[in-house]
Amino acid sequence: MGKKTEFYVRCIKQAWNGSFDLANAWGPLLGAAILGGALWLVDKKLGMPDTIPGTIVFTLMCLGLAWLIIFLGRVVYFAGSLFVAKEEELRQASERLTPKLKCTFGDDVPGCVRTNTKVKFQMIGPDAQGNLVVQQVNLRGTYYRLAVETSGIGIVSNCTAYLTSIKRNSKAWVDGENLPLTFAPAEEADSTQKNLRAGITTYLDFLFISDENQPILTTKNFQGPTSLNWGDMFATAADYLFHIVISSPDSVAVAHEIKLAWTGNRGTSRLLNIGTGSK
């Protein structure tokens, strides 16, 4: 069944339901008025029947005409109602599928590059005797962040961001791990689930490069799965493509890619904005 046929069948079904009750209630008045008007158009006068069979026929004619007019009127009414409802449904679907988040990055975008920043975190590493211990790490370096804004009005709630993959020289390097990233400031309780407000730029940390030329992914508390070799992740000079996804219950997910052209030295390396779009 085609969509048009299905639409008209729905209209007829809804118009049919209840039409007989309305015709029974309004039949004598509405039917008689319609019958009288039709006779008047052909220069005939409507007279009340004076026999029982004539009365029955007259009553049935009134009921039939009343039902026909009521039924056709309800078909038109429900066709309009269903059309308006369908238009609203399509509008809402279009709104749901429209991204409400937009990301930008670049050296010329305020807030995306934060130099001379101190970070402190704990990591597990070997001591002088080779035993694994918790160590306090203090570094100074440069933060790199996406600028995230809403593209509409109001609040886009519960935004989360993940680094879903890293490619090295176009080949999969880090895959199968969704690494949670933090919205600045990272120490706040809502850094991994943020409400974004219209007119306010929020920054998403994704990379820190220390003054000692050590790139570090800025996951929550700089921690991540032990399946990854964090110390040697950027040991090779290469092009690293970061794939970041930001999602919210209020918006379709938005993906953004940044390429790190890593030379082994922060001063000669570059971070390039590749692009954005819906995931």
Write out the chain's pLDDT in tens, 279 residues. 567 677 667 767 776 676 656 655 555 555 555 555 554 544 455 555 555 665 566 566 666 666 666 667 767 777 777 777 777 666 666 666 677 899 999 999 999 999 998 888 766 656 666 666 667 778 899 999 999 999 877 899 999 999 999 999 999 998 888 999 999 998 899 999 999 999 899 999 999 999 999 999 999 888 878 778 777 889 999 999 999 999 999 888 999 999 999 999 999 999 999 977 545
pTM value?
0.66
Cis peptide before 99 (omega within 30 of 0): no
Range 182-188 contact pairs with CB under 8 angstroms and sequence separation of 24 or more:
182/218, 182/219, 182/220, 183/148, 183/159, 184/145, 186/218, 186/220
| Strand-pair partners of 239 | 261
From 64, 79, 86, 71, select the one nearest 9 (Cα to Cα): 79
